Amino acid sequence: MSVLRVSVEHRLGDFVLDAAFESEGGLTALFGRSGAGKTSLINAIAGLYRPERGRIDIDGAVLTDTAAGVFVASHRRRIGYVFQEDRLFPHLSARQNLLYGRWFAPQPAAADFGQIVALLGIGHLLSRRPANLSGGEKQRVAIGRALLAAPRLLVMDEPLAALDERRRAEILPYIERLRDEMGVPIVYVSHSVAEVARLATTLVVLSEGRVAATGPTAEIMARLDLFPLTGRSEAGAILSTRVAAHDPAFGLSVLRAAAGELRVPRVDLPAGTALRVRIRARDVMIALAPPEQLSALNVLPGTIAEIAGGDGPIMQLRLDCAGEALVARLTRRSVETLGLVPGKSVYAVIKSIAFDRHAFAGVPDGSASASADAEIAEG
C-alpha cells in the first residue's frame, strides 16, 4: 500500500499555506471551502512550484525536501494530473490523446491500453475528437491519458466541477473503479460533501491554509466540531452496510449494518454487496421510545454520545448506534423538551425516502458487486 507524506509551508501573496497530512493508498480527498488551499497543496505535490519549506515523499521516494535541497521537477515525478477542464488536444482523436500519455511512461511501467480503456468504458469513443464528446466522456479520456503515463500518484483537481448533475452521475462510478481496481493512490480535491462521502477513504479537511482534521472519512464526517467546515446543511454520517434482501412487492431493499437494518428504495445489487450509506443529519428524527404507527420504516436504537451547538437555536447530536456514529440536527427546543443529554438512550427515526440515489456508494473492500444504476458504484 502506497504511503504519501506531505508537509508544506508557503506564502502565496497574503495567503499562507501551512499544511501536513499522511495517507495510505485509496482515495484521499482534500475538502474545504473555496480559498482553503486545496489546489495550492496539490500543486505543491505535483511539483508545479517549489515551496518555501516542506517535504513530500511517496513510499520513501523524496520528491521535495527543502532542508536537504531536493526538488524533483514536475515531469520527473510520475504524477498524473487531472484538471477541472479536460485539456485534451482538439485536433487529435480520443485514441491519440490517450496514447500521448505514454510518452511520459517509463517503459518497464507502461500501463495496459486495453485495460484502461475497458476500465473507463471509452472503447466506443476512440475515433472521436473532443468536440464530439460530452463533458463526462472528455474527463474519462483525460483520466485515461493520465493513467497511461503510469503515474505513481494521481491528483484530481475538482474533476467534476465543470459538469452538470447528469454528467457527474456518469463519471462517479468510473472514479470508484479507478480507486478500487488500479492500485494507484489518488489525491482528490473537492468542496462537495456528497462526492467526498461517496469516494474518499481518507478525508483531509482544510481551512484557511491549514489542516483542520484528517482521518477515515466516516470518522471525520461524524465529528460535530467540524460541521462549520463540512457544511451544516449537508452534514451527516456514513454507515457501512451490506445488501441483505430485496422486497419486490414494495420496491425496497434491506441493508444490514451494525446499527440495525435499513429499508431503502431498491438498489439493483445482489445480496452481500457492500455499500456505505450517507445519512444526513437533517433527515434524522429522535424518539424516546420505539415509535408505533409511524410511516418512517427505519428505527435504530442508540445512545447520545455528544451534543453541540452552543447557545444557538440548532443543536447537533452524535449517536452511538452499536459502535457506528449517526448524526442528528434538532432545534434547541426539541433537545430541551425531550431532555436529551449525553448517555441517554434514544431511537433514531429515518424516512426511507431520505435515501436518494446520492446516498449510496460502493465500499472499497474488494466485495463482489454489480451495478445497474449510474449512481450506485461497484464495491
| Mean residue pLDDT across the chain | 87
Residues of the chain with CATH 2.40.50.100: 236-362
Average pLDDT over residues 230-256: 88
Q: Topology of domain 3-217, per CATH?
A: Rossmann fold (3.40.50)
Q: What pLDDT score does 362 carry?
A: 58
84 alpha carbon, distance to own chain's centre: 16
pTM, rounded to two decimals: 0.85
Closest CA to 143 of 123, 180, 171: 171
The residue written with cell numbers 503515474 in the block is 151
Residues of the chain with CATH 3.40.50.300: 3-217
Q: What pLDDT score does 113 carry?
A: 87
357 — pLDDT class (breaks 50, 70, 90): low
Q: Above 80 in pLDDT, residue 363?
A: no
Q: What pLDDT score does 194 carry?
A: 85
Q: How far, in Å, CA of 47 to CA of 44, rounded?
A: 5
Q: What pLDDT score does 353 carry?
A: 76
Q: How far, in Å, CA of 62 to CA of 200, rounded?
A: 25
Q: What pLDDT score does 232 carry?
A: 66
Q: What pLDDT score does 294 carry?
A: 83
Average pLDDT over residues 234-260: 91
Average pLDDT over residues 123-149: 92
Q: CA–CA distance from 335 to each of 3, 42, 225, 299, 315 (Å)?
A: 43, 42, 18, 19, 8
Q: What is the DSSP string of 55-84?
A: EEEETTEEEEETTTTEE--GGGS-EEEE-S
366 — pLDDT class (breaks 50, 70, 90): very low
Q: Above 80 in pLDDT, residue 325?
A: yes
Closest CA to 214 of 204, 224, 229, 199: 204
Q: Which three cell numbers stand for residue 272?
A: 452481500
Residue with more model confidence, 330 or 369: 330
90 — pLDDT class (breaks 50, 70, 90): very high
Class of domain 236-362: mainly beta
Q: Report helix angle 135-147 to 165-181, nearest 10.
A: 20
Q: How far, in Å, CA of 218 to CA of 239, rounded?
A: 8
Closest CA to 366 of 150, 172, 110, 181: 181
> Side by side, which strands form the sheet with 27-31?
79-82, 153-157, 186-190, 27-31, 202-207, 210-216
Q: What pLDDT score does 311 carry?
A: 78
102 — pLDDT class (breaks 50, 70, 90): confident
Q: Are 296 and 351 in contact (CB under 8 A)?
A: yes
Q: How far, in Å, CA of 237 to CA of 317, rounded?
A: 11
Residue with more model confidence, 86 or 67: 67
Average pLDDT over residues 216-239: 84
309 — pLDDT class (breaks 50, 70, 90): confident
Per-residue pLDDT of 173-205, as tens digits, reads 889 888 988 888 999 999 888 888 889 999 999
Closest CA to 240 of 219, 212, 226: 219
Q: Are 200 and 188 in contact (CB under 8 A)?
A: yes
Phi and psi (nearest 5°) for 284?
Answer: -110, 125
Q: What pLDDT score does 229 carry?
A: 83
Q: Above 70 in pLDDT, residue 361?
A: no
Residue with more model confidence, 14 or 378: 14
Q: Above 60 in pLDDT, residue 379?
A: no
Lowest mean pLDDT, pick from 205-209, 273-277, 290-294, 342-346: 290-294
Q: Above 90 in pLDDT, residue 164?
A: no
